[in-house]
Amino acid sequence: MIILQALYFMLPAYFANMAPVFATKIFSNKLAWPLDFGKKYKSQEILGKNKTWRGLLAGVLIGILTIYLQKYLFQFGFFKNVSILDYTRINLILYGFLFGFGVILGDAIKSLFKRRINLKPGDKWFPWDQLDFLGALVLISFVYLPDLLIIFLIVIISPLLPIITNWLGFKLKIKKVAW
């Protein structure tokens, strides 16, 4: 049950992390402006053209919508049992924002480092590609700090989820690469 609680707690971040891929499919090139405004540092892209305002907005929006869904589900016994948060007592917009923005921030920071070591967008960088969720965990810790066991489980299990979802996205032809 505690593994399910850890995963359910991070659900807004997990969904927010997937949101940019779906936003690209839905909105095509709309709002596809680079977060780094196309600027370069020492003749290298700062984040790259794949880190966009569209992805940031989609991630934040999905983080917020997911936490609202969790609040709705909180009235049902199963979901109340797997919740470590009391969704009726938290600021849903703030929590959703922190999860959504945090995971996109984690991804952007990773991209910053990838550009510095000359990895192109989409290039595999294991295990760092699986750690975007840490941005969400860090930001949410400013308003709520889960038990250490929950944090431990999140850190152990979360890196496996992008591997699984990326592979599924590739198989469903949503992503061009399987990582």
Cis check: omega of the bond before 34, within 30 degrees of 0: no
pLDDT for the residue 178: 66
Q: Which residues of 33-69 are buried (b: 16+ CB within 10 A; e: fewer)?
A: ebbbeeeeeeeebbbbebbbebbbbbbbbbbbbbbbb
| Tokens linked to 109 | 């920071």
Q: What are the strands, taking DSSP E only, across the chain? A: 40-41, 44-45
pLDDT of 73 higher than 80: yes
Residue type present at position 172: L
What's the pLDDT tens digit per position in 97-131? 999 999 999 989 888 888 788 777 677 777 677 77
pTM: 0.85
φ/ψ of 146, rounded to 5, equals -65, 165
Which of 110, 29, 14, 106 has its CA nearest to residue 67? 14
pLDDT for the residue 130: 74
Q: How far apart are CA 36 and CA 53, in angstroms?
A: 9
φ/ψ of 45, rounded to 5, equals -60, 145
pLDDT of 154 higher than 90: yes
3-state secondary structure (DSSP) of residue 171 = helix
Average pLDDT over residues 26-34: 82
Q: How far apart are CA 159 and CA 133, in angstroms?
A: 8
Higher local confidence (pLDDT), 37 or 134: 134
% of the chain with per-residue pLDDT over 70: 97
